[in-house]
Amino acid sequence: MVFKKRPRGKKKEWQVDIANERMYILFEQADRRFKTYPNLSDRYVEISRNISTKLNVPIPRELKRRFCKNCGAYLVYGANARQRVNSEKQYVIMTCLKCNQKKRIPYTDEKKKEDRKEKEN
Ligand SMILES: [Zn+2]
């Protein structure tokens, strides 16, 4: 891996990149292991959160909605999470079935994500 020149003083960009990359990898692993070892998935979430706090890098938004902020569980719709769409008010309610914590995600956000996906493909 080749590092870019580090800007002095400012938050190191390469550090942010690495933190993000690691978090994505961890969530990918969590996703893979969920069926067989859901506890391991939760552990991956925990590690990601540790990286985030330690390096002071926020967890990417798209990953943030994949775990429960309250109990730290990795969330999978239909397994340990429930998703309810409120099309009238344009948001999605995500419920963690482990601790019943509810999270509200704006609808427009989901759409933006879809658009981005299309562009990538
Ligand atoms: Zn929870």
How remote is the CA of residue 81 from the centroid of ligand 1, in Å? 9
How remote is the CA of residue 83 from the centroid of ligand 1, in Å? 13
How remote is the CA of residue 119 from the centroid of ligand 1, in Å? 33
How remote is the CA of residue 16 from the centroid of ligand 1, in Å? 27
Question: What backbone phi and psi angles, to 5 degrees, belong to 111?
Answer: -65, -40
User: Mind giving me the DSSP string for the chain?
Assistant: --PPPPPSSSPPHHHHHHHHHHHHHHHHHHHHHTTT-HHHHHHHHHHHHHHHHHHT-PPPHHHHTTB-TTT-PBP-BTTTEEEEEETTTTEEEEEETTT--EEEEEHHHHHHHHHHHHHH-
The answer to whether residues 66 and 96 touch, using CB atoms and an 8 Å cutoff, is no
The answer to whether residues 63 and 27 touch, using CB atoms and an 8 Å cutoff, is yes
How remote is the CA of residue 17 from the centroid of ligand 1, in Å? 28
pLDDT (tens, 9 = 90+) of the chain, 121 residues, equals 555 555 555 668 888 999 999 999 999 999 999 999 999 999 999 999 999 999 999 999 999 999 999 999 999 999 999 999 998 888 999 999 999 999 998 876 555 556 666 666 5
pLDDT at position 107, please? 72
pLDDT at position 12, please? 80
How remote is the CA of residue 106 from the centroid of ligand 1, in Å? 19
pLDDT at position 32, please? 96
How remote is the CA of residue 115 from the centroid of ligand 1, in Å? 29
Which pair of tokens denotes residue 45?
């979430």
How remote is the CA of residue 42 from the centroid of ligand 1, in Å? 11
Which CATH code for domain 13-107?
1.20.5.420
pLDDT at position 87, please? 87
